[in-house]
A and B are shown apart, each in its own frame.
Chain A
């Protein structure tokens, strides 16, 4: 995946300001950054949800904005901040995504069962997604992104609101994708998580990539958090909060 010179402005606020990012095929790539750094905006532009003001997106050799159909066929996306067709049950929703992707019914049915079981949603397969908890919704959305066996996964905050047991399952699934030659790109604001999972990272700040590369190169002997604070700049001075001591 290669993002080159991405720009996006909302009104007078520049959300993404010339973002360049290259993700090596087969890597487990983490995007970290503070809230409002432009992670979700960048991923939206990289997945076809948001048209960039300038810049290009290449996914597995296809220019996304020139030939969306070819690029979208190969990717699986877990978006953040959009709803699902939540009047379907979990099973129906996964099946719907599979059928839209052109899979035949027996294949979809088989994969839907497996995904529900793997993500611990087997008991909730016939419950409407609108009645799911936040964590369950995240998991069923991930299942939808996985049903067609994508070569490239783009996940926006995949571990948010997910319980520790499910997080372990999701980690195993993502590792399986990478081990099978696939590429996973995920955003998160939890440094430890990215440090533990990913082999490549990019630090995004104020709509730009301020550091990127193999995890060890970016860390450069320190911790990711340390490097992150250096890159982003820590708040200076301390504010008097002495009443908290009483």
Chain B
């Protein structure tokens, strides 16, 4: 019976993939991009692992161990942090069938290997056999170690998702997971610089190898390395331990699975309450300020907006950190922090109707005039954006050692912010695209394969840069030639930005009035 069920589950996974391919062009593009990304990772990864064949055993062990541990860690964390990556074989969906975990588990495990991550992991694991083809004993250990390593990857991912299913069903924890992921990813560029800013010695690498090799992450990958350095017994011990760990994880998983099959996991429990009185109630009682107040609440409560703000803050802080670390560069670059962050902030709303999703129907049903919608949302960003950008622009000038140019930096920054908002105001109405709902998988929010939407985003960046240009040019003039130009910039920059913003609100508003139902049809599409 069990092999039969396994075949059935593998077949199910394959049909799901096939149907996903057939669903829509967007899905197909997503799958092709995923496959290309996987192929690229596999290609570079396999070449790197094969190259370690020539390295001395110490460095080869270091490379394979670190890579392998990252792999296991990725399998463990990504599905938990990013919900919605792959729910195709969610155990909860089998809850109504009379099945025990023992019968379901092998099939779910094998099915977990099907797909881009599974194939890439398997290829990388196979490549390690070549790395250790330095004698009979290392190869004899490398083959079972690769199998155990791959199975460990899938097992930890299944184990953690099943264990966290209850937790993940709650809205709040899903959102926290998304925020953590985006934070980790947005600081990704920082880590290599920070890590490489100091040189690593051989003994440190050996220490890392030694420690990782005894953790669950590294046990299977370390076994053949021992054999290669002549510690056959230690290698065997690690392999036995890794296998025992795998079996233990399997047993634990099947216990959790049995429980998941009879438990309801539809969230529940957490209910967010808000205070009854709010400062936002003091805003004027007009439709424009009602829209602004609603947007302000969303900037705080919707994780997608919240994440965007975090991302912008990080993008402002990262260069500062980098410049402080690498003390060689000229600090005056920090003058650009304000204009850069200001423009970025302006274009975060470039798809605000897509972020609304079908909730935009409310505005359509009420018949909110387009310019009221556009102006209200822009006001919400200005309320907190102007003070924030002012601080960043002035601080950037001062930290950059050119405090006297604060006016120029601020002028260019506000020009970028206003101009970005103006461009976004039009693009959101003209080229909206559907995005993942709050708490969904943020990485599915691409332009839905629509070239128009992608072009629209480029146009937004172009217009924003154009709007910021006068302020930026005056800032450069002030910095390089004639300092009083900074004060001209403080007037001209925001003035040009405001003109673009006003035009954007009028144009965007007209577009919205003319195309309301069509916009709703686009943004309500599930992705």
Contact = CB atoms under 8 A, between A and B. Distances in A.
Interface of A: 47-51, 68-69, 71-73, 77, 79, 81-89, 91-92, 96-97, 99-105, 108, 125-128, 130-131, 144
A108 B289 CA distance: 15
A128 B285 contact: no
A48 B368 contact: no
Nearest to A131: B271
A2 to B, nearest CB: 19
Contact of B272 (A68, A72, A79, A127): A127
Contacts of B281: 105
A172 B507 CA distance: 45
Given A81-B358, A127-B271, A128-B274, A72 B517 contact: no
B171 interface: yes
A108 B285 contact: yes
B361 A92 contact: no
A144 B290 CA distance: 14
A234 to B, nearest CB: 31
Given A68-B367, A87-B438, A104-B285, A96 B276 contact: no
B7 interface: no
Contacts of A73: 367
Contacts of B363: 100
B199 interface: no
Contacts of A128: 271-274, 301
Interface string B273-309: 1111000010001110111011001100110000000
Interface of B: 171, 270-276, 281, 285-287, 289-291, 293-294, 297-298, 301-302, 356-359, 361-369, 438, 516-518, 520-521, 524
Contacts of A51: 517-518
Contacts of A126: 273-276
B361 A49 contact: yes
A96 B290 contact: yes
A99 B287 contact: yes
B378 to A, nearest CB: 17
Contacts of A130: 171, 272, 438
A43 to B, nearest CB: 11
B285 A87 contact: no
A127 B438 CA distance: 17
B274 A69 contact: no
Nearest to A101: B366
Contacts of A68: 367, 516
Contacts of B524: 82
B366 A97 contact: yes
Given A81-B358, A87-B297, A92-B297, A99 B285 contact: yes
Contacts of A48: 364-365, 367, 516-517
Contacts of B520: 49-50, 82
Contacts of A144: 362
B291 A100 contact: yes
Contacts of B293: 96
Q: What 8 A-B pairs come out closest when comparing CB atoms? A: A72-B367, A99-B290, A82-B358, A82-B361, A105-B285, A87-B301, A131-B271, A51-B517
A92 B274 contact: yes
